[in-house]
Each structure stands twice: as C-alpha cells, then as structure tokens.
Structure 1
C-alpha cells in the first residue's frame, strides 16, 4: 500500500514523519518547498515531484494545507489523477477548512467514486513532533475505522465527531474557545497591572481557583506573562482565520456569537498593528494599549 501526504509545513512535516516511521506502509510526500521532502527522506518517506504524481500511486492521500484555496486546488489535482484508476480511494483533509468548502469537496469526491474524511488536528507543533496530536474526524464510520491505524501514528486522542464536516465544526469551535479564553486572560492581566497587581499573582490565583485552565497555564505563563510572542508558533493570522470560520458557523446557525465576534475584532486589530506573524497572544498588546499598561514595541 502507498499512502500520500501533501503539505509539509510546521505541522504537516512532523505528522508525515511519524506516519512514515510508524505506519509500516510506503509513504510518498509532496510540498512546493523541497527542503522538508529532503528531511523526510531520513524518516523513510519518498518524494513526489507533483501532487498528481503522488496521487497516481497512492490509495490514500492526506492533505495538511494552510488555506481552503490550497486545499481545493490540491483536491482537484488528486481527483483528476484518480480518474480511471481502481477505486474507491480515500482523501483526507487534516487542515482547518470551512464547513462549506468541506461539504463541497466531499460531494466532489463522492461524485468521482471516492471517499472523503475531514480530520483536522489540535495542539502545538511539539505534539505533532511527538505524535501526540488531538484529531477530530468527520465521515462515514467505516472510513474513519479504516483510517485509525494511520491516525494513531500521528495522534494519541482521536474523536469521532460524526458525518463529513463535523470534524471541522468541532476543531473550529475548539480553537475559538481557546482564543476567547486567551482574550479574557489578556483583559484580566491588563486590568490587574493597571491597578498595581502583578500578572503573575493573578495567574497564581486563577490556577488555584475555578478559573484554572490550559490557557492560563500555557498561553498565560508562556506568552502573556513575559509578553513574549515568537514567530513559528500559532500566528495571529491563523487564529483570525479560525475565529472567522466560527463566526461564519454561528451566523449560519442564527446565533449571536458576541464573544467570537469580539475576539475576531481584537485579532484583526492585532493583525493591523503588524503582529500577524507573531504568536496570537500578542492580542494582549492591543488590550494594553487601550489601558494604562501601555504597549510593548
């Protein structure tokens, strides 16, 4: 069996490395950047020069791409390459894609006689390296069951969310709840500092009380407290994309998502201020600039 993996970015490269090292099948990879393909050779993955060349050899193709446009373009290339080949084959989107695009791709894949699963991931790049991702899968139960040995190469926690598209719904809302929590922490830290209370004291109390959370212990401690927002972690522009997708979901459901809208507006301001490629808790700097704490250059 040959499995293909397209999209070797910060998350995709370690995911593909784990798939190649652990799955016991031939793994073929492709990216527009040749450097990760060269590095993945050390993990046993072979390279393909194009997405359609990869697809012609693979019965199962994973995509992990940064935008809906890229996902659509790659899916089109894969399905075109699968024309006339024995099937059905399985196409899996592990990126974060809008529900509308996901459903369109699923319909397009089914019309071509193949199968489609959305399986976006959560957790940080370190978890991708360690094979400890959380994966949220939507699709036919039999398709997800067939994928489980491969998903377990990349993740330790796999949630079966329901039909096609449900994985994206769960992932988008999961991320939005996190961003809203970081937004709340940014506001609380700014108010505390403005009144002479150290943000570290506030976090100590939060972690000892009912407001304790992963956001306080990770984003709070590692980013908001030191005001440290490195590039190479989940950037503001990615956070804005995910929250915007959540706002879209809420609007289509007739829900007045005030918290998601507020966080989206703050992330947009953070982007406009030049922090788009920095770790998204940089939103704190816009909150601080509104109060007495003052911005940091």
Structure 2
C-alpha cells in the first residue's frame, strides 16, 4: 500500500480553497495546490501549501490528489487531456473527486484510472462555503471499503459527516439526489411564501409556524429563512447555473433508470426562467422572486 507522503489539490474555487486550507493545516503531510487563478494560491502559500506549476506536476509528485472542479465535464477534460491526469497517473495513486459529476462519466473515468493501476474515488461535498471553512462538510463517498478507510482521515480534515455510499459512482448518486430533493423543497417553500403572503399571512410568521409542524426541513430553516424570507441572493454562493447543472445530472440519471421525475422538471423550468431573467449568477433560491404572476 502506497504511503501518503504528499497530498495534491487541484481547483481552488468557492469550496476548493477552504477545503485545501483545512487539509494544509490538519493533514500532517505537505500539500501541493494548483489553480488557474493566482490569488487563492497566494493565500494558501501563506498557510504552508506548495504551489504547483501545472496539474501534471501535482500528479507526478503526490500520492493522493483531490479535485474540486466546476463540473464533471471539466474533470473529464482535465483527466483525458494529452498532458492530463490519466497520462501522469501512477500505480496505487488515489484521485479523490470532490466535484459533482454525472454517474456514468465518473464510472467510466474510474475504469480508465484502473487501467493505469490508479484509483478514482468520488466524494462530492455537500453544505456551504461556511461549512467548508469550518471543516464541517458532509461528504458522500463512492469507493471500495479499503479505499474508503484510506481516504477517510484526509476527508475528515474538512468534513464532519462522511458516508460510504457504495462502489465508485454511488457518492455521485447520493449527492445528485440530495440536491434534487433540496431544489424541489426550495420550490415548495417559495410557493408557500408567495401564496401565504398574497393571502394575508406575514411570511415570518408563516415560516416560523411551518418549522413547528410536519413541513419543517433543512431547506425551510436555511434556504427559506436565510435567503427567501429576507430576499438575500448573493453571487458566489450556489448559483442558479450551478444548481441547474446538478439538476441536469439528476434528470439524466432519471432517464437512464426509467423514472418519471415531474417535480424535478418543474424545478428545471424555474431555473431556466431565472437565467432568462438575468439571475443565473445569483444564489439559487432567487427563483422565489419569480413566482408572483408577471414577475420578471
């Protein structure tokens, strides 16, 4: 079994930077980071991370490599480029994909890494940037039990809840379905606010009262009370465009498994309308502002 002497990290965006920071501080071995932007690299260098010149250098020098990239398509391209991850993968190296990717794409890549005698583990992350900074993310892992035990201590530097969901790809299944359920619940919460407000109920009273009954949920208490209610939909949060990307993975998986998902299709129509209204970069509960008839 290959000993972990150096950890690599590729992708230092909204979630990647705080995750990499926790690894740098807590993993107990050197961390080498790469990103196309210099700013997060400079901030992490202050924490002690090494700066890589390219993804190839990360793959060549690191035993475990974490990826935190915008989509499965970006992961696949980076892996299959002529000077990409697959070209430089080595025996018993572990690549941990923290991104949300399509299930079939993840499993296909895992087979390609296996041909190089390397291992791909899917470990998509859930919760917020604040949770990434605090080290309290939830991570859904697709891997064999032995690989899971090898990466779990490293994931534990940035996550408080870590679940082995099954073989490779199963982490993506869980993350995609988690997001699908969340998005559908946000639509229901937003509809309730729009109807209740028009019917004369103060929305604060509405949400507080719903939280005492069977309609209570994480989405109500967080997306509802902290975004829909005050009307706060910042950029550089989980935007409509990113949310729709994840939802499309769910719709794709539903089609592949032969399941009728009309609720998810309704969410997709709201996301499309929000993007058309110029709200694509805003936090995804912004769809609540479109639910009054005639809203733009």
Compute the TM-score of the two structures, normalised by the length of structure 2: 0.95
Q: 1:198-234 deviations in whole A, cap 9, x for unaligned?
A: 2112101101111111111111111111222111211
Match of 2:158 in 1: 154
Unaligned segments of structure 1, at least 5 residues: none
Q: State the Cα deviation string for residues 91-113 of structure 1 (Å, max 9, x = none).
A: 11100000111011101101111
The CA deviation at 1:59 is 1.2
Match of 1:62 in 2: 66
Distance (whole Å) between structure 2 residues aligned to residue 65 and residue 277 of structure 1: 17
Q: 1:31 & 1:20 partners in 2: Cα distance?
A: 15
Q: Give the distance between the partners of 1:46 and 1:264, measured in 2 at CA.
A: 41
Query: Residues of 2 paired with 1:168 and 1:234: CA distance?
Result: 17
Equivalent in the alignment of 1:72: 76
Partner Cα distance (1:189, 1:213) in 2 = 15
What secondary structure, in the 3-state scheme, does the structure 2 residue paired with 1:233 have? coil
Aligned to 1:226: 230
Pairing partner for 1:265 from 263, 266, 269:
269
Q: CA RMSD in A?
A: 1.1
Counterparts of residues 126-137 of structure 1 (less than 5 Å): 126-137=130-141
| Per-residue Cα deviation, 1:131-187 (whole angstroms, up to 9, x for no partner) | 000000001111111001101001010010000000000001001111111100111
Residue of structure 2 in register with 1:52 after alignment: 56
Alpha-carbon separation, structure 2, partners of 1:199 and 1:185 = 11
| Per-residue CA distance 1:4-52 (angstroms, 9 max, x = gap) | 0000000000000000100001100000001101100122211101000
**Counterpart Cα distance in 1 of 2:290 and 2:109:** 38
**Paired position in structure 2 for 1:115:** 119
**Residue 96 in structure 1 maps to residue 100 in structure 2:** yes
Conservation of the 8 A alpha-carbon contact between 2:73 and 2:101: no
Q: Which residue of 2 aligns with 1:179?
A: 183
